Structure 1
């Protein structure tokens, strides 16, 4: 992407790798799978990327993979790949917060750092990583925290797992538990809603349970919702729609604490599942993948608790 004279940012066909040949000493094979703004990316694109990466890994020709991606949905695509691809070699996502012709453009530098991480043996067996602004994050926990700041990608709950310096890559957290979910297609419809003070039940009542397979609610605090939407939640569960809670807070985890109408303890007793550590968009992707495998309610609870 680059900025034109009126300040608008437009797509460009020029790939940043064309400017990097003097900056690295290892061979790179470039593949242009998609050329899309990141808001245009869908789970179907993510599945296609996952399938492509798995096929390339199976050739045993590569020591690492770097994916350049628009920052708006980078955290979702990287986590999808983390869930679907099982490999020991590094898979690293990176992007840019400033256009290629802006002063202080960060894209070329981020790409070089990502290549260094992907080519470093210390990056093996760590799941999918996101490299931005000299920091290394896990795809599971990283999120975009600012609309335009170059330090936008943060892991609020746990922080980065490593840093990139001029000389080396340093990791200071051990690899987390990794899971792989195998799917062939995306057919499940999972919605994501955010709870707020004074929320009405109009939107939930307008959704036919037969039209969705799951519902993610970004709940208040530790996992509470306004009481007015509780009847709709119960109705979804009655019609075998999986209802899952995450917190709209950046830090902490959802917990079934409060025993009142709409409180977490009451919702748990009604059959709502609590998702530890994940934000709403990532919980949605994980639930979609698990539902494709017809995972039981009990196993869904375990998958989102661990």
Structure 2
């Protein structure tokens, strides 16, 4: 028997449609814990509801994520608590879940969930997602699996999952990995365990980290502007293996000389960023300048990780060790 705490943050799962559009419902979070089927879940001793916030997920900030992480850790210290379900908006769910995955101390299961359809919409998916998430938390196999994301009866690892569809209930996917498991009626089935999860415990984070996407014809001015605006770390989403236009390469060199770490990701969902191409702007050229190759290609995930890592260190070479775990160590000549 176990107690499950549902921590609500808002999002479509706690919204209704009014004349002007879909907006937060002032009683939406309360309804989450009143799903009748919750009372029939085997092994569930008690449900508690904690309202952290009731905001659209684009309003979620790094500071909010940091406070949420501390709250969840505090809740999990209670011996009676089996695990936590976090309800959230879908737009930034993958960022918050990954933030929690990296920073939480406990191995107790934490499952983040959401809804693509508001509580007043035909076929709303929120109640089913909450129900499946609570079932997942109570599964004995969920312990030590890291923070998970459960929607549409699929269970995904926070590091691997991303939103792929603007409106479909089957929006969350883990490209290149696939789900950890599924919830089938009242049974939770895990098919694999993520081998890529990690924990980075820190006492603070660096909020001033920018995510910039390069493009054909990019002259590097946006990258340099971010540095001039006071961003202390930059994630640059390049093409393919992390390659960028030549003028952007020049900008990368300038920014690194300012002592600002530049982490290179890719606009591709699958594969890894790797220093293969040595032409100007190629991944090998950027790394020679001192850029860091993020082996996880998704930019928004790299940004979350860089914020957390920079809470521990601002040394570029030390930061590199967190991102380049499978790249052969070479002497890097800073241009």
TM-score interval (norm. to shorter): over 0.9
Unaligned residue ranges in structure 2 (runs of 5+): 1-13, 326-335
The CA RMSD measured in Å over matched residues stands at: 1.7
2:57 is aligned, of 38, 50, 56, to 38
Matching residue of 2:288: 269
1:105 is aligned, of 120, 124, 137, to 124
Say if 1:194 and 1:218, in contact at 8 Å, map to a contact too: yes
Matching residue of 2:184: 165
How far has the Cα of 1:7 moved from its partner? 7.4
Asked if 1:93 is matched to 2:106, the reply is: no
Residue aligned with 1:34, SS:
coil
Describe the superposition over 1:28-55 as per-residue Cα deviations: whole angstroms up to 9, x where unpaired. Answer: 1111111111011001001101111111
Structure with bigger strand share is 2
How far has the Cα of 1:101 moved from its partner? 1.4
1:18 is aligned, of 34, 38, 56, to 34
Distance (whole Å) between structure 2 residues aligned to residue 225 and residue 65 of structure 1: 41
Asked if 1:192 is matched to 2:211, the reply is: yes
Residue aligned with 2:310, SS:
helix
Say if 1:2 and 1:100, in contact at 8 Å, map to a contact too: yes
Unaligned residue ranges in structure 1 (runs of 5+): none
1:47 is aligned, of 66, 81, 87, to 66
Asked if 1:70 is matched to 2:83, the reply is: no
Matching residue of 2:329: none
Distance (whole Å) between structure 1 residues aligned to residue 73 and residue 92 of structure 2: 21
Describe the superposition over 1:157-212 as per-residue Cα deviations: whole angstroms up to 9, x where unpaired. Answer: 20111111013111111242443222333344111110111112332333445712
Aligned length: 306
Give TM-score scaled by structure 1 length: 0.95
Asked if 1:127 is matched to 2:143, the reply is: no
Distance (whole Å) between structure 1 residues aligned to residue 68 and residue 224 of structure 2: 36
**Change in CA separation of 1:298 and 1:207 when aligned onto 2, cut-off 3 Å:** closer
How far has the Cα of 1:24 moved from its partner? 3.3
